[in-house]
Amino acid sequence: MNRVYIKTYGCQMNERDSEQVASDLRNRGYSIVDTEHDADVVLLNTCSVRDQAEQKAIGKAGYLKKKKKENPNFVLGVMGCMAQNHGSTLVDRLPDLDLVVGTQKFHRVPDHLDNLIQSLNGQGPRPSSIVDLDEEEGSQNTIRDHIGKKGQVSAFVSIMQGCNMNCAFCIVPKTRGRERARPIEEIVDEVTRVAESGVKEVTLLGQIVTSYGRREFPVVGGKSPFVQLLEKIQDVKGIERIRFTSPHPRGFKQDLVEAYRDLSKLCEYVHLPLQAGCNKTLRAMNRPYTKERYREIVDSLRAVVPSMYFSTDIIVGFPGETEADFAETAAFFDDIAFDMAYIFKYSIRTGTPAEVMPDQIPQEEKERRNQVLLDLLHKSSLARNEGLVGKTEQVLIEGPAKKGDKFVGKTRGYRNAIFDANERLIGQLVDMKINRATASTVYGDLVLAGVDA
Ligand code: SF4
């Protein structure tokens, strides 16, 4: 009764939350298994960012309830954003659900499972479904432990929860609550622990990291709490690379730009959500910046680090986006020449202001706009990668490629790199001479002189 499979949908924050639940469960004597077929307990850690993501998880839960027929003691739980978004109505839709755990209650999962399993074993009353969705002060501080997989070179570190913005398309403020930051010292302790276990790269996570600690901690010497945190992590022995996701253009100030100049471990890659390159659409989205301000941030980053890489999120077909609005967004997107982008066709998210906006865009038109941006992205990312051919870039070696006998890693600019290597090089930072490139990947040979290979 103690084998648990956790299936994670959605973003890196969800992955991180699942890792914490897995760690808590292991400490409680549960074993974490790799497939649902071997499990006595399945927990779905869900995403609400689009209706489609929720439908996927509901479909999975519907399928898994069949397991109850074979094994009446099988336990099925839903955690995370969809649990928070729909609460006990999920149990109405899926009466076989045993557990519904919201985004501030992940740390309560072991207690809930203990209780459910004891009851199922006849040591208590037959349990009804447990629904635990309340807000909990300090819950952001409970996402702090790691499982530590063998050969792991990179780790996510959750620095805050929630978002106080109200973008018209986004459900996150409802599912994740108000902004709550973890203390700087606790984050630095966590980063130190992962570094001691061999991790070389950390990615700091939050829905809106540029808001980190702005209510809890003071600005010191003109530096925001987020930049103070980056400076502290720069000093952690063993950590060689720092990344973060996602900042917001509104909170991206000069102190953060200068951090890219001053902190050698902060990789020259930023994922800076644009969402639209047209001020009218940005206003409709309730995104409080203009494309001119976004451009200023890009220019100031390129001024301090000319080789800066830019990635973004962008939505096409937002309600009311005319052909002229889209043309403006496409021209701006082309002008920035993004190295990477997550391009989304707007889809209605129930419960958000944009759901009821007039002038929804037909699906075929969204497809067309999506393709226009994909083509522009292909052109800019290919040009960037082809420009690297003949150059030498440092790669962090992650491990063997999924197929073939090559190894994979990432450059500081977050390009996928493929090369010959061996197991002993995993976790090392090694220069690579690039000899070929596609839009997504660079290929080359490691420069092993002086490296313990
Ligand atoms: S800033 Fe990000 S998380 Fe917050 S409401 Fe906007 S899109 Fe959602």
pLDDT of residue 452 exceeding 80, the answer is no
pLDDT single digits (tens) 188-203: 999 999 999 999 999 9
Q: Is the CB of 248 under 6 A from ligand 1?
A: yes
pLDDT single digits (tens) 393-437: 999 999 999 989 999 999 999 999 999 999 999 999 999 999 999
CA distance 283 to 408: 41
Average pLDDT over every residue of 5-15: 95
208 and 246 in contact (C-beta within 8 Å)? Answer: yes
The secondary structure of 234-272 as a DSSP string is HTSTT--EEEEE---GGG--HHHHHHHHH-TTB-SEEE-
Q: Whose CA is nearest to atom 2 of ligand 1?
A: 207
Q: How far is the CA of 242 from the centre of ligand 1 (A)?
A: 22
Q: Which of 13, 180, 207 to mutate to test the pocket of ligand 1 (most atoms within 8 A of CB)?
A: 207
Q: Is the CB of 159 under 6 A from ligand 1?
A: no
pLDDT at 448: 87
Q: Give the annotated binding-site residues for [4Fe-4S] cluster.
A: 11, 47, 81, 163, 167, 170
Q: Is the CB of 144 under 6 A from ligand 1?
A: no
Average pLDDT over every residue of 127-136: 90
pLDDT at 70: 84
Average pLDDT over every residue of 232-244: 98
pLDDT at 125: 62
Token pair belonging to 191: 């980063």
Q: How far is the CA of 415 from the centre of ligand 1 (A)?
A: 26
pLDDT single digits (tens) 327-370: 999 999 999 999 999 999 999 998 999 999 999 999 999 999 99
- Residue 124 pLDDT grade (very low, low, confident, very high; cuts 50, 70, 90): low
pTM of the model: 0.95
Average pLDDT over every residue of 318-323: 98
- Stated as kind and residue range, the H or E segment containing 32 is strand 31-32
pLDDT at 52: 87
pLDDT single digits (tens) 361-380: 999 999 999 999 999 999 99
Average pLDDT over every residue of 153-168: 96
Average pLDDT over every residue of 297-318: 98
pLDDT of residue 291 exceeding 90, the answer is yes
**Of the candidates 157, 142, 159, 143, which has an alpha carbon nearest to the alpha carbon of residue 217?**
159
The secondary structure of 126-170 as a DSSP string is PP--EEE----TTGGGG-------TT--EEEEE-EE------TT-
User: Which ligand 1 atom is nearest residue 275's CA?
Assistant: 7
pLDDT of residue 158 exceeding 90, the answer is yes
**Of the candidates 254, 264, 357, which has an alpha carbon nearest to the alpha carbon of residue 315?**
357
